[in-house]
Structures are given as C-alpha cells and as structure tokens.
Chain A
Amino acid sequence: MNAPRTMLDKLWASHEVLRREDGVSLLWVDRHFVHEGSHHAFAKLAERGLPVAETALTFAVADHYAPIRSRERIADPKIARMIETLRNNASAHTLRIFDLSDPSQGIVHVIGPELGLTLPGLLINCGDSHTSTHGAFGALAFGIGATEVAHVLATQTVWQRKPKAMRINVEGRLGFGVTAKDIALNWIAQLGSGGAQGHAIEYAGQTIRDLSMEGRMTLCNLSIEGGARFGMVAPDEVTFAYLEGREYAPSGADLQSARQVWRGLVTDKGAVFDRDITLSAADISPTVTWGTSPEQALPITANIPAPDPVDPAKSNLAREALDYMGLAPGQPLDGIPVDQVFIGSCTNGRIEDLREAALVLSGRRARVPGLVVPGSERVKAQAEAEGLDRIFQDAGLEWTASGCSMCVGMNGDVVAEGKRCASSTNRNFRGRQGRGARTHLMSPAMVAAAAVTGTITDVRPLIQGRAA
C-alpha cells in the first residue's frame, strides 16, 4: 500500500523532471501565459539569443495595459509601446497572441479557462501572482517573476521547492447574498495576509463542492492575498461540465482518458496536511475591507475596530491604514460614502459576477459613477446577449471592452487621489488603483449595492425577492 497522498503530491509527482540534492525540483510546465509585463523576460531571452522552447504551449495576451475604450489608436505612447512590444515578441517567436482585436482577448486568468487551455492536472505558469486562479480546475498553477518567465520560455521548466500542504475546509451552506469572495476575505482576515506563506492551499468541503467554477476561480485567485502562491480545488463533475466543448480542451478518446486521470487527482483519504483548517459557511457574511491590506476585512454589519491595545504593531498598522483611508475607529462600515465603483478584474470579472451585479442594478440608478469592465471579450459578448450591458448602462455605469483596467491602473484607468472606490478586485494596497486611491474590496454584488446607494452597504435587502 502506498501512503495516502494529497492532490498537491500527485500534481507535483507528475511534473517532477528531477529533484536536486537540496530538495528543489525541476518541474515541467504544461502551459505558459505571457502578457505585456513579460517584456523583461523576452529581453533576457534576446540577450542570450535563445528561442522559445515550446511555442505550442506558450500563449500571449494583451490585458494589463489593454485600453478599454478606444483600442484602434492608443493615445499614451508608453502604453502603446508595451502592447507593441508584446506583439513583436509574440511574432518573433511565433506565439499565438490574443491581441486587442481578438474576440477571445481578455484577462489571462479569465481566458485560459474560457478557452479550455486551463485543465485539471496541468502545471500552469504566468508572470502574474493571480495565476493561482487556474488551480480551481485541479491544476498546479502559480505566479512567477521575470527571471523565471525567461527560464520557462527557454526550457519549459521551472525550479521550485515543494510548498507545504494546507487545507481549508468550508462546510455547510453559504448564507443568502454570500459569495466566494466573502469566503476568501474571511479566511484572509482570520489568518492574515501572510498567513499561508510557504503553503499550497487545497480548498475542500461541501461549500466548495457547491461553488460554480467561477466561484472556485475567485477563491483560488485570492490565495496569494493570504500569502499562498498556490490555491486549488479537486476536479469534479462541475469542472468537467465547464470544460465540455471548450476549443483547446481535449475531446473524444483523449477526453475519456483525461477524465480518468482527472478523477484520480483528489486527495486520498487519510492524507496528512501540514495545516488543516475548517470554517463554517454559516459564519460568513458579506465582507468588506476597511484598510490597506486584504486582511483588514470585516462583515458589512461591523464597525471599524478600535486599535488593539495588546498588539501595538497591529494597532499601529490599523491607525496608519485608517489615516490613509480617511476613516475612524468605531465607524460603521455600512454607510461609508463612496465616490465611485469598479466591477471587473481576474478576481470578479466573469459572467456570473456580472449577473450578480446586474441582479442588484436592474431597474435602479447608480448614485455614483462607475466602470463595468468584463473579464474578457467573450464574457462581454455573453453579457450583451443576456442584456446585462443595458442594465449597467441604464443604471448610469460605463460598459467597456475587457482588460485589467482599474484593478491595477496600468492602462491609465485610475482612481483619483483621495477618492473612495468600492471595488470587486483583489488588492486594497496603498496606491494600487492610483496614487492616494482608497479601495474597499468586496463582492461584485456588494459593489453594485454601493453604486445604488452611494455608500458601502449590505446587499442583502437589495436582492430580497430578486435572487433566483
């Protein structure tokens, strides 16, 4: 009898080319996604005159700098140059590029799954920390830096020490108006933004099984905000149904043999995790961040905490965060006025996210301006087929082409200094959405609720009687 193994053990073993004496493994990479930010890596490759080792496994996409309005002529020369550089690198190395005019363009972590490039059992790399998103399919997916991107381009492998295994079990049914985003903000608030450093997280339990692929992606996406480079969910029928008929996914006999392998990717009974944590779904409420770290999050019904007298370091952090955010201890979260809203990003820019936001906004007007940026052009087309774009525009929000946009502001979509934004994104770091910008993270439905009332507020009364 072999010892029981975790999903991480199985994925690691199937990709390990060799292990050095010091315990670091050389891993085979099945998919490599590059974007405009990968220019440093291509420059390293050019310095050495090396080709891309596996062009059929490497895919390029314009997302971080993608303009969401006029795409034909890019006004900012720096942004135009970033996209042009990606284009040139893709062309020089004969890589498939999902360029601005491509109907399949979108944020890398949205289009990978959408196209069926993301599959269970794969090792997936991208020079972006939210690559953990793809782990939702039962893949070993993690973000890498530019030196590693160059290494994967040159060798189709990556050196990595196996992380420790951690399991977050979520049991029970999520309450009304509670989403995967809230699960994520909840565990990060409990364990801290560095709480899962050095670990690969497997999300398990009935609550996770009940999540759609979109929800699982949101959850895995946010793993890095709790410090974990990897997040994953065991593949199951929900996964298989999502992948059915996706153009790059296997079909026919290949699909049959693939499913057999995929079904075996679950953690064996009795396998031991270095950390094993259980949360109850019933304890999770719609959650919002109040500070400048994702761990500074609380249920919408809470008040901003008073500085913790027993932990001076933490209370100092809280004081500085509140100072930056223009908020005070004791203030209720519900009712904080916002200046604008943003719905989108690799965290919450998928069709289900837009549906949830539209459910709130339908027949209502937004009191503050805002942007709705679909995660991909396909999400955009789907939303338009469902009439969601009308709902957003009738509410007074702007509906645009896809890209990372205001989540990171690289394309010029920024929140002005001192302005407060309710945002469905992943980081409320200082300056993330623009210098001096004040970001509150929450689910897309909660962002929609903030749009309707002009304040951070509980979405639940607004969807009472509306939810399916």
Chain B
Amino acid sequence: MAGWSTQKGHALALAIDNIDTDQLIPARFMSAPRSEGYGQYLLHDMRRDDDEQLTADFPLNRHEGISILVAGHNFGSGSSREAAVYALVDAGIRAVIAPSFGDIFANNAINNGLLPAQVDAQKVMQLQHALKDAPAQVSIDLPESRLTLGDITVTFELDEGWRVKLINGWDDIDLTRQHMQAIGAHRKNRNKAAPWAWPNKPN
C-alpha cells in the first residue's frame, strides 16, 4: 500500500447520517473476489433502481471523479466487513470527512489507505453547505491534520498511530514480524502462567 501526505480531489457532500456498512455494500455482493473490483457495489441500493440503473437524483451519480466524501454522523457503523472500505477505495474515494465513524470501519479504512477524517459537526455542516450546489476541490494535509475548501480551513482528528501508518503506507504484518522475539517470549510466559488458555482438546 502506498503512503500519502497530501491529497487534492473533488469533494461531494453526502449529508446523510448513519450510512452503515450494509448501505456501503449490501451483503449479497460480498462473495465476489476483490480482483473484480468493488467500486460498482458502492452504496448500491441507494444509487441504483430495481433494474440496476443509476438513479439521477442521487448526488454521487450526478458527478464523476469524486475522491472525497463529506458525510454525516456515524459513517460506516455496523459490520466489520472490510468490503465496505474496498467499495469506497475501488470507486476512487481517498478520504471521508464526517463527525464520527464506526470504530471497526475506521480501523479498516486505515488499513487500506483511506482517511477517516473526523471533523466537528458544525464544521462538517459548513463544508456541506459550501458544497451544496456542486462538488469542489478540497486539499488535505495529513501531517498538519488540515483540510481546505476555498477559504474554509478546518482541522481534523486522527489517531497519531493511524496518521503515521497512512503517511508511510505501512503494512502491519511486516511491522509485526520485526517483533517476533517479543511475541515468542509472551507466548512462552502465557503458556507457563495460563496453560488453561490453550484448548483442552487437540484439533
């Protein structure tokens, strides 16, 4: 995964609270291999009618080249399905700006280079207001936790560990494998102190 420090892209207001993981990608599409691309499933049932046609009135269907969403409270609440993040990333989304995020979703987002930028609710409304007629360019500065839309500049909250990970594009497995000794020592101690923590029955 490539890291990034700054991002410029077209932002769209999606002023809806509680866009949950079942909205982001309905469960019936999740058996597809990732190689097929999950972008076509993003917000599927919100965006498409019964004949699978994109509906004209949904904001995301009216504009091309959107890479930033400015959404409502509790974005990505619900399931642990990483497919919700795949759908966003495969559709070209690089950042979601919202007042709050589902915990597991935010975690999954970071693991895929997608920024969950937490911004004060008032400021989110200000951004959405500025975007109400048309998408506009937003620039994001990850090291400074800052995003700019025209003359509006707001700061966003981001876990420090997550910021470092996004900037460096780190892969956790590589990182963790540097700690194999410490893990081995922990395992040994635990096995000695808490043998009951291992299943009583061999597989």
Q: Using a CB–CB distance below 8 Å, which chain A residues touch chain B?
A: 14, 17-18, 20, 22-24, 26, 28, 30, 37, 39-40, 43, 48, 50, 55-57, 65, 78-79, 81-82, 94-96, 116-117, 119, 121-122, 127-129, 131, 143-148, 150-151, 154-157, 159, 161, 163, 192-194, 197-198, 224, 227-229, 247-251, 254-255, 257-258, 261, 292-293, 313, 317, 408-410, 417, 427, 429-432, 435-436
Contacts and interface: CB of A to CB of B under 8 A. Distances in A.
Contacts of B182: 17-18, 26
13 contacts: A14-B194, A30-B197, A48-B173, A119-B196, A129-B80, A129-B104, A155-B180, A198-B103, A227-B103, A254-B200, A409-B28, A427-B22, A430-B23
A148 B112 CA distance: 11
Given A261-B194, A313-B72, A17 B183 contact: yes
Given A155-B183, A258-B196, A431-B22, A20 B202 contact: no
B121 to A, nearest CB: 9
Contacts of A131: 80
Interface in B132-160: 159-160
A129 B106 CA distance: 13
A155 B27 contact: no
A408 B190 CA distance: 37
A78, A129, A249: residue with the most chain B Cβ atoms closer than 10 Å = A129
Interface in B93-126: 100-104, 107-108, 111-112
A15 to B, nearest CB: 8
B142 to A, nearest CB: 15
- The CB with the most chain A CB atoms within 10 A, among B72, B81, B180, is that of B81
Given A65-B31, A227-B77, A431 B104 contact: no
- Which 9 A-B pairs have CB atoms at the shortest separation, nearest pair first? A145-B108, A258-B196, A147-B111, A250-B196, A145-B82, A194-B74, A146-B82, A143-B80, A22-B161
B176 interface: yes
- Counting chain B CB atoms within 10 Å of each CB, which of A50, A192, A193, A249 scores highest? A193
Contact of A122 (B81, B103, B187, B197): B197
B203 A247 contact: no
A154 B23 contact: no
B90 interface: no
A271 B74 CA distance: 30
Given A17-B183, A150-B173, A313-B17, A24 B161 contact: yes
B60 to A, nearest CB: 16
Contacts of A144: 80, 104, 107
B57 interface: no
B160 A145 contact: no
B108 to A, nearest CB: 4
Given A65-B31, A261-B194, A151 B22 contact: no
